[in-house]
Structure 1
Amino acid sequence: MDPLAPLLDLAGVADFFAEARDRVDAAMRHRALRRHGGQVAAEASLRAAVASAALEGHAYDVEEVRGGTVTDPVLQGSLRVAEGLGGLVDLWPRAPRQVLAKLHMLAARGVVPADDLGRLTGGAARIDALAELVSVADKSDSPPLLLAAVVHAELITLRPFAGPAGVVARAAARLTLIGRGFDPRGLIAVEIGHFAREPEYVGSAGAYATGTPDGVRSWLRHYAAAVSAAADELTVIGDGVLAAV
């Protein structure tokens, strides 16, 4: 039995995810992706990295970051993570703990002592359970959105690494969406949706941590809304790319 299946029975959750899937499908039909997909993907990745750093309390204007003038190590780590995701997609379901350590090394270099890079600060048993869930996902019927939401919530709740652990959590969720085929080109920058709804993001993550059905439902509803917001942002990016060519 799929251990996540009961979460789909929480009131409204299946509908939340279906709506987010529809919004993503619509955004993926943007005509900019036919000839300028690389430009769109690069811009989405940049904006995702900036949003993820901002959620760690290190907010900068996208244009400043694009210009290369921001040296903040948390922002730079978030950029390294965004750049490195593509090379970790295939490894993620095979060796989740190894990938989490790698993500932390990318995110936290220059922020925490070198000896702490890639090392858990706690929550090892729960990380093992999460790794098992990720490893067996290809053999289950769990929707990619549901698995990504749970991966994100578990890691943001545990914060098992020193420093910018939230960057790691958001990246692991993105890897799940990419690897499970929901967003194979890495175009849906969910971080942007989280940042746009930051109070809800923080509140629903706290609600998830209570472990109650209502708390988990609150988080899943937020995650679907963040994905929908990211789909809308993809349309904005596509419009901008077309306007510039």
Structure 2
Amino acid sequence: MSDAADAIRTIAAWPAVDAALSEAREACTRLRWNEGLRRRAPEAAAESRVRGARASAEVDGARSEDSVVRGLLIGATEWPSDPDPTLAVLRGAIQATAEAEHVGRILRSSPRQALARLHTAAAEPLLTGEGHAQLGRPREEGSPCAEFADLGAPPTGLTDRLHGIVSLLETSAAPGTPVLVVAALVHAEIAIVRPFSRGNGLVARAVERALVHAGGVDPTGVSVPEAGHLRRAGSPYLGALAAYAGGTREGVELWVRHVASAVTDGAAEGERIASAVRAGRLDA
């Protein structure tokens, strides 16, 4: 574990990465002291989950509106009994984003359990019938996964790569380990390895959210890192992942900076939420 921690700290010390991480931390600090959070932080955190779920679903191609997600969450709108593929992805995003709040405290101490819970939440609407047997379970080596097709076929050695994801999460608990770098690496590994048959993108972004909040980067739980990824969805997101998959320093640096910038933008979205809550204008 110490070798992994040293490697993570080395990445964090690269000048371009260090600058991006500093910007993200500063943005989250500004959010933490936003006047709008002084008395209504729980309401703002709830709205963060609304906007995070909507953005995560849209990164996977399922477009919606914050008002729609808000209505579904509070029960003002009922889920259809036979949702179309867009609504299935949206429901998975909502469930995974909500679960991210609960697994944050165990993500680093019991990462396999946390990943299983996040996958069950994300993929339950996507895996129907007999597919429910796959909920919370890694796919078998060599079994197909159609997600992230632009990145090519998933790499071989699924068991070893999944063990590496678990080790990264465990390492994030070590004192002085840059949690945001861990969040970036785990996000990329889940997207590239695709350990599950469905819902890998939703799980990857939910893990990042959980680490950003529970790991202390943004203790308010109001930032919306998914919104930052949505701003860079499509070619920038997939291109940064492909660069990371190449295994070069330049590729890893590009991806970690990409995630740090998404967190910076997510903190700015959190400030907009805080201002809207303070003004009583969430529906605006």
Q: Judge same fold: TM > 0.5, yes or no.
A: yes
Residue 102 (1) aligns with residue 106 (2): no
Which structure 2 residue ranges, 5 or more long, are not aligned?
142-157
1:7 & 1:179 partners in 2: Cα distance?
A: 21
Match of 1:114 among 119, 124, 132: 132
Match of 2:200 among 165, 189, 194: 165
1:197 & 1:213 partners in 2: Cα distance?
A: 21
Residue 7 (1) aligns with residue 17 (2): no
* Partner SS state of residue 141, structure 1: coil
Q: Map 1:3-42; keep pairs closer than 5 Å.
A: 3-42=7-46
Aligned to 1:86: 101
Give the CA deviation at 1:28: 1.6
Aligned to 2:61: 57
* Deviation digits for residues 222-242 of structure 1 (CA, Å, limit 9, x no counterpart): 111101101111111111112
Q: Is the 8 A contact 1:194 1:201 kept in 2?
A: yes
Aligned to 1:45: 49
Give the CA deviation at 1:140: 4.2
* Partner SS state of residue 173, structure 2: helix
1:179 & 1:243 partners in 2: Cα distance?
A: 27
- TM-score normalised per structure 1: 0.94
* Deviation digits for residues 46-72 of structure 1 (CA, Å, limit 9, x no counterpart): 100111111111111112222335651
Moved over 3 A (4+): none
* Deviation digits for residues 21-52 of structure 1 (CA, Å, limit 9, x no counterpart): 11111122111100111111111111001111
Match of 1:212 among 245, 248, 268: 248
Residue 223 (1) aligns with residue 259 (2): yes
Q: Is the 8 A contact 1:192 1:226 kept in 2?
A: yes
2:280 & 2:242 partners in 1: Cα distance?
A: 41
Residue 194 (1) aligns with residue 209 (2): no
Aligned to 2:153: none
2:215 & 2:69 partners in 1: Cα distance?
A: 30
Give the CA deviation at 1:179: 2.5
Q: Is the 8 A contact 1:43 1:237 kept in 2?
A: yes
Q: Is the 8 A contact 1:108 1:164 kept in 2?
A: yes
1:235 & 1:40 partners in 2: Cα distance?
A: 9
1:140 & 1:201 partners in 2: Cα distance?
A: 30
Q: Is the 8 A contact 1:50 1:60 kept in 2?
A: yes
1:65 & 1:181 partners in 2: Cα distance?
A: 27
2:71 & 2:214 partners in 1: Cα distance?
A: 31
Identity among equivalent pairs (%)? 34
Q: Is the 8 A contact 2:245 2:251 kept in 1?
A: yes
Which structure 1 residue ranges, 5 or more long, are not aligned?
none
Q: Which has the larger radius of gyration?
A: 2
1:184 & 1:25 partners in 2: Cα distance?
A: 9
Q: Is the 8 A contact 1:10 1:213 kept in 2?
A: no
- TM-score normalised per structure 2: 0.81
1:140 & 1:30 partners in 2: Cα distance?
A: 28
Q: Is the 8 A contact 2:227 2:265 kept in 1?
A: yes
